[in-house]
Chain A
Amino acid sequence: MALMPEAGLDITAPETSPASGSWASPGVRYVVRRILAAVATLIFVVLFNFFLFRMLPGDPVKLYTRGRNVDPEQVRKLTAALNRPLGQQFLDYIRNPFAANVDSVKYSQPVWSVIGERVWPTLLLVGVATLIATVVGVWLGIRSAWNRGERFDRISTNTTLVLYSMPEFWLGMILLIVLGVGVFGLPGLFPTGGLSTPGVDTSSLRGWLDVAWHLFLPVTTLAIVYLAEYSLVMRASLIDEMGQDYLQTARAKGLMDKLVRRRHAVPNALLPTMTLIFLNLGFVVGGAITIEYVFSIPGLGGLTVDALSGPDVPLLQALFLLFSAAVILANLIADLLYARLDPRVRT
């Protein structure tokens, strides 16, 4: 929502009205407005977060103690601790939503330390995959659009369409069986899951290679799925630009085809793709639940699913705060970059 420059401006309108135009240049005002809008959104999320998870059904204590020899008195104590009056819970929460000393019900560890252990696998997996998908996808999109209708375009577009419509779970499982386990007598080249080999020190070079080896299949799967999206969007927007008059003008000036593409067409066509990239970047921390599930990667996606059963309210709260903050931050960066790429946005 924040990506549409017009929308959301009114939320933080007050500070612009008194002496608009006098206290800062339009560019600075734009930046300040965007930041304030982001902060306002975050505050809303923090409040919303609290009530959202308290509406989930369930009795964590009962679920955790079912089938176990727990002293009834102990169960009562645990329940009492979790069922404090809502007002009191809210006060505790609002004092510092990012408090370090709130423990997860399930893991008996501070929520942020539980999340801390899981955040790196997610960033590695989704971050690397997004990066690869962006570079390759944009490149493919430009190539296809510029050579529209030719063999490269036909192959590339058809392939990406097929990949785009493939369920990532299914694609992951196929890759796992073909490249991980091996078929028709061929050996499996990559591990079937996890992030590292037991007994290997991950801080050593060998450890890094080990992690790269483990990440190969999941990153490939995820990159293939993302790549299709980027490539198709990039292709479409570049084709739109190619019909514009200014490109004809540029060509008429005698510019080389490559330069027309690089200096004129691509920068303008990049805008929709940028939007998409930054939207997706915000979701990077959310993890890729299906890929994590197929390749047994201990990321935040799986942790969220775990936390939902119970439910582990403190952990869920922290996770959603993190996810929302990431999306809001990514949107903010996109807004600011947009202004840089397209001066029209600033005013």
Chain B
Amino acid sequence: MSVRLPRIMSLIVGAAVVSAGLIAGAAQADTASPSPAASADAKATLTVGITQDIDSANPFTGIVASAYEIYQMQYPTLTNYSAQDFSIVPGLADSWQESADHLTWTYKIHSGLKWSDGEPMTAKDAAYTFNRIINGEYEQTNYGNYVANITKAVATDDTTLVLSVKAANPIMTHLSIYILPEHIWSKVSEAQVKTYKNEPVDGQPVVGGGPFVMAERRVGQFIRMTANPNYAGGPTPIREVVFRVFQNQDAMGQALKKGEIDFADGIEANVAKSLEGIPGITTVNATYSGFNEVAFNTGAALSDGKPIGDGNPVLKDLKFRQALSWAIDRQTLADKVYGGAATPGSTIIPGMYPAYHLTPATPYTFDPEKAKSLLEAAGYKAGSDGVRTGPDGKPIELRLFGRTNSANSKQVVQFVKGWFDAVGIPTTVTMKSEDALTEIIGQGTYDMFEWGWVVEPDPDYQVSTFTCGQRSYEDAGSVLAGLSDSFYCDPAYDKLYAAQGSETDQTKRSDIVKQMQQMVYDAAPYIVTVYYNNLEAYRSDRFTGFVPQPSPSGSLLFQYGVWSYVNAKPVSSAGEGTQPADGSSGSSPGWVIPAGVLVVLIVLAGLVGWLLKRGRGGEAADDRE
């Protein structure tokens, strides 16, 4: 008897521990069910799953996409991009006017606006924000390019903002600068701004002027945004948006399936596939602004023209690069690698931006025979083994780098290798981390690599990556990378780049940008393989009214603007209010938990009983020894 007691005790303790866990779960579920009902309207909380936490809530510091989603929800900009087609529409400013000499811009700010804490929101806040960036050292990190041309900002009255510029500049109609409340940020000194968190303090939401403001943040877990009571657009149907961070795609898909989250953005093709056909879930294959490319080392050099790196010289030959452009099957990449969530690519501004995108008149198609004959004609004759030789008489062999960080990249480089091998250009594939590849590109020690870009609505940045000045540069004895990763350099192109940068007439600017795309397309420093899509999925049984950007097939969230957050609404249902637990995000119907606990307890009791029985048997055996 004395022998048996501790054993029973330990079992009891064990059972108690397990039960405690279950009770904690049940208690939680219990408290979770009434809580959404208690908060004004449970159905008005949109929970969005994201796979990347924000790096900072401070708009001068953050750099990741999720952080910018928060900033644009929280702070207004002077103008907005329309959901329809990225045309410029009023934001904080109702109207704007360029002076005849192109050197002054006057913005009429909407009157009677308030920040979320009730303080007036005026042109003075806008002027403060601009001047802070213009005069700030650290503040320029994220927005320097927008203000490089602005000399000063003045609020002549509460509704008039005047920006003086050095030269005509098209960016002035769409400055993506978040206007901050002066009465908050003036207390953050230049020295403090870098590490200023801009997170809720003492349960008080961050002060903002957009439709939602940050009410709570737990690093690596979630960001809770509540509706701004003073939002200029009036009350939004959604009252709260929660961004929940998932470290892996599969768990995020499961959470959507279960209903813990209502929306999942940027999901992988296999997860999207697993969500298709589930009642209540709608998957979206949205047009996106990203493209992938195979880039050539067209002759690595510093911005002053000094050659660097060890790129294969045949890649300097325009005819060689053009020939290879015919050897790639873009459609196969879109279908096989991207599972159909992509379209064949051509020029460096994706078709998602119709105002600037150029559709080439004579596109490169998949034609290996043509590639071979072009190579032959350019003097790259095939030897008896089928391998072509360069001008130096040596067989050509090219190095192609892929990225270990991307599953798609691994496949793309294998396909490309196969196609290049087939036209007599043996290709060696090496996978590198993006860190390592960044360095290799900057030093020009490559022949080809696979990577991609996400293109902004304004084409300036994207077309700038092909200018001569963006090639690598030397500083204190070491070679550092610029934006150019193909080392393409053409003075005629640079001239066009300067021209588009001072053309404020959009039609004329668009013509120039299209000319530039044609030049790059013809010179083939890149083979733009595909324009890839953004995969999204959401609980269409709970929310409706999302606004795609661009219309009709663009992304529903993570847009240039907050169109969906202000327009989406909970699906109205007859039972609303009578069944508080049903459909409330994050918990199962109320009856399930107690039932589940009961089942588990019964199983547990059985197990304990069985073990006890075994225990006695064992003890008896011991005693006999």
Interface flag for A176 (CB, 8 Å): yes
The answer to the question of A283 belonging to the interface, with a C-beta cut-off of 8 Å to chain B, is no
Kindly provide the distance from the CB of A118 to the nearest chain B CB, expressed in whole angstroms.
7
- Residues on B with C-beta less than 8 A from A58 are 433, 435-436, 438-439
| Residue B622 at the chain A interface, CB threshold 8 Å | yes
| Distance between Cα atoms of A66 and B460 in the complex (Å) | 14
Interchain CB contact under 8 A, A192 and B260: yes
Report the bound CA distance from A189 to B618 in whole Å: 35
- The interface size of chain A toward B, counting residues with CB under 8 Å, comes to 81
Q: Which of B140, B245, B260, B439 contacts A59 (CB 8 A)?
A: B439
Question: Given contacts A58-B438, A181-B254, A197-B586, are A121 and B618 in contact (CB under 8 A)?
Answer: no
**B302, chain A: closest CB distance, angstroms:** 14
The stretch that binds A, out of B96-104, B143-151, B358-366, is B143-151
Q: How far is the CB of A153 from chain B (nearest CB, A)?
A: 9
Is B32 close to A, CB under 8 A?
A: yes
Q: Contact partner of B195 among A110, A132, A256, CB < 8 A?
A: A110
Q: Mark A46-89, 1 if CB is under 8 A from B, else 0.
A: 00000000001111001111111111111010111001000000
Report A6-53 residues with CB < 8 Å from chain B CB. Answer: none
Which chain A residues (126-152) contact chain B, with CB distance < 8 Å?
A: 132, 136, 139, 146-147, 150-152
Is B82 an interface position by the 8 A CB rule?
Answer: no
Q: Known contacts being A67-B453, A110-B195, is A188 close to B478, with CB within 8 Å? A: no
- Residues of A within 8 Å of B438, CB to CB, are 58-59, 62-63, 66
Q: List chain A residues, Cβ under 8 A from B442.
A: 59, 62
The residues in B between 250 and 292 inclusive whose CB is less than 8 angstroms from any CB of A are: 250-251, 254-255, 257-258, 260
A117 in the interface, Cβ–Cβ < 8 Å? Answer: yes
B184 adjacent to chain A (CB < 8 Å):
no
A104 and chain B: residue at smallest CB distance: B55
Residues of A within 8 A of B519 (CB): none
A194 in contact with B222 (CB, 8 Å): yes
Tell me whether B63 is interfacial, beta carbon within 8 Å. Answer: yes
Chain A residues with CB under 8 A of B247? 193, 292-294, 296-297, 302
Q: What sequence of 0s and 1s flags, for each residue 148-163 of chain A, a beta carbon within 8 Å of any chain B beta carbon?
A: 0011100000000000
**Residue of B whose beta carbon sits closest to that of A107:** B55
Contact indicator per residue, chain A 90-122, by CB within 8 Å of chain B (1) or not (0): 000000000000010011111000000110010
Asked if residues B254 and A176 are in contact (CB atoms below 8 Å), the reply is yes
Q: Does A191 touch B at the CB level, under 8 Å?
A: yes
In the bound complex, do residue A187 and residue B220 qualify as a contact, i.e. CB atoms below 8 Å apart? Answer: no
B contact residues around A296 at 8 Å (CB): 220-221, 245-248, 251
* A198: B residues at CB distance < 8 A: 216, 218, 222, 224, 242, 244
**Chain B residues with CB below 8 A from A118, complex form:** 219-220
Residues of B within 8 A of A56 (CB): 435
Cα separation A190 to B623 with both chains bound (whole Å): 44
A166 an interface residue at 8 Å Cβ cutoff?
no
Residues from chain A with a CB closer than 8 A to the CB of B332 are none
CA distance A173 to B254 in the complex (A): 10
From residue A164, how far is it (CB to closest CB) to chain B in Å?
Answer: 20
A188 touches B56 (CB 8 A): no
A199 adjacent to chain B (CB < 8 Å): yes
> A310 on the interface (CB 8 Å rule)?
yes
A150–B618 CB distance below 8 A: yes
- A195 and B218 contacting across the interface, CB-CB below 8 Å: yes
- Please state if B142 and A197 are interface contacts (CB–CB under 8 Å): no
Least CB distance from A197 to B in Å reads: 7
Q: Is A62 a contact partner of B255 (Cβ separation < 8 A)?
A: no
Chain B CB within 8 A of A311 CB? yes
Q: In the bound complex, how far is the Cα of B10 from the Cα of A136, in angstroms?
A: 10
**How far, in Å, is B48 (CB) from chain A's closest CB?**
12
Q: Which residues of B contact A152 (CB under 8 A)?
A: 614, 618
Q: How far is the CB of B276 from chain A (nearest CB, A)?
A: 17
CB-CB nearest in chain B for A309: B435
Query: A293 vs B142: C-alpha distance in the bound complex, in angstroms?
Result: 30
* Beta-carbon contact of B476 and A83 below 8 Å: yes
Give the distance in Å from the alpha carbon of A311 to the alpha carbon of B586 in the complex. Answer: 36
Tell which of B10, B141, B244 touches A74, judged by Cβ atoms closer than 8 Å. B141
Query: Which B residues touch A344, using CB under 8 A?
Result: none
- The reply to whether the CB of B589 lies closer than 8 angstroms to some CB of chain A is yes
Q: How far is the CB of A23 from chain B (nearest CB, A)?
A: 46
Nearest Cβ on chain B to A288's Cβ, whole angstroms: 12
With CB as the reference atom, state the residue of chain A lying closest to B14.
Answer: A136
Determine if A311 and B435 form an interchain contact, defined as CB atoms under 8 angstroms apart: yes
Distance A139 CA – B142 CA, assembled complex (angstroms): 57
Bitwise, B187-199 to A at CB < 8 A (1) or not (0) is 0000000110100
CA of A64 to CA of B434 in the docked complex: distance in angstroms?
11
Whether A192 contacts B475 by the Cβ 8 Å rule is: no
Shortest Cβ distance from residue A256 to the other chain B in the assembled complex, whole angstroms: 8
On whether the beta carbons of A109 and B3 are closer than 8 Å, the reply is: no
A76 CA / B140 CA spacing, docked (Å): 13
Instruction: State whether A139 touches B195 (Cβ < 8 A).
Output: no
Q: Is the CB of B245 within 8 A of A180?
A: no
Q: Which residues of A contact B61 (CB under 8 A)?
A: 108
Contact (Cβ within 8 A) B245 A258: no
With contacts A193-B246, A199-B35 taken as known, whether A57 is within 8 angstroms of B435 at the C-beta atoms is yes
Q: Which chain A positions have C-beta within 8 A of B14?
A: 136
> Contacts A118-B219, A296-B245, A298-B220 given: A74-B140 contact, CB under 8 Å?
yes
Mark each residue of chain A from 179 to 220: 1 if its CB lies under 8 Å from any CB of chain B, else 0: 011100011111111111111100000100110110010000
Tell me, rounded to whole Å, the shortest Cβ–Cβ distance linking B93 to chain A.
20
Bound-state CA distance A187–B195 (Å) is: 44
Q: Does A177 interact with chain B (Cβ within 8 Å)? A: yes
Q: Does B21 contact A (CB under 8 A)?
A: yes
User: Chain A contacts of B27 at CB under 8 A?
Assistant: 206, 209, 213
Q: List the A residue with the shortest CB-CB distance to B476.
A: A83
Q: Does B258 lie within 8 Å of A298, measured CB to CB?
A: no
Q: In the complex, which residues 478-516 of chain B have their Cβ closer than 8 Å to any Cβ of chain A?
A: 478, 480-483
Cα–Cα distance between A213 and B220 once the two chains are bound (Å): 18
Judge if B596 is at the interface, Cβ distance under 8 Å: yes
Most buried by B among A67, A76, A173, A297: A67
Query: How far apart are the CA atoms of A20 and B169 in the complex, in Å?
Result: 82
B373 within 8 A of A: no
B56 touches A108 (CB 8 A): yes
Given the interface pairs A191-B586, A198-B222, the reply to whether A151 lies near B39 with Cβ below 8 Å is no
Asked if B31 is at the interface of the complex by the 8 Å CB criterion, the answer is yes
Q: A80 to B218, alpha carbons, bound, how many Å? A: 33
15 additional A-B pairs beyond A74-B140, A80-B476, beta carbons within 8 Å, are A59-B435, A70-B144, A83-B480, A108-B55, A109-B195, A147-B622, A152-B614, A173-B250, A181-B258, A192-B255, A197-B28, A198-B222, A200-B35, A294-B248, A311-B435
26 A–B contacts from the bound complex (CB under 8 Å) = A58-B435, A58-B439, A68-B142, A69-B146, A70-B145, A72-B482, A76-B475, A152-B614, A180-B254, A180-B258, A187-B593, A189-B596, A192-B251, A194-B222, A195-B221, A206-B28, A212-B24, A212-B25, A213-B25, A294-B248, A295-B251, A296-B220, A296-B221, A298-B220, A309-B434, A311-B435
> Using a CB–CB distance below 8 Å, which chain B residues touch chain A?
3, 10, 14, 17, 21, 24-25, 27-29, 31-32, 35, 39, 53, 55-56, 58, 61, 63, 140-142, 144-146, 148, 176, 194-195, 197, 216, 218-222, 224, 242, 244-248, 250-251, 254-255, 257-258, 260, 405, 433-436, 438-439, 442, 453-454, 456, 460-461, 469-470, 473, 475-476, 478, 480-483, 586, 588-589, 592-593, 596, 614, 618, 621-623, 625
**CB-CB nearest 7 A-B residue pairs:** A298-B220, A58-B435, A71-B144, A213-B28, A187-B592, A57-B436, A187-B588
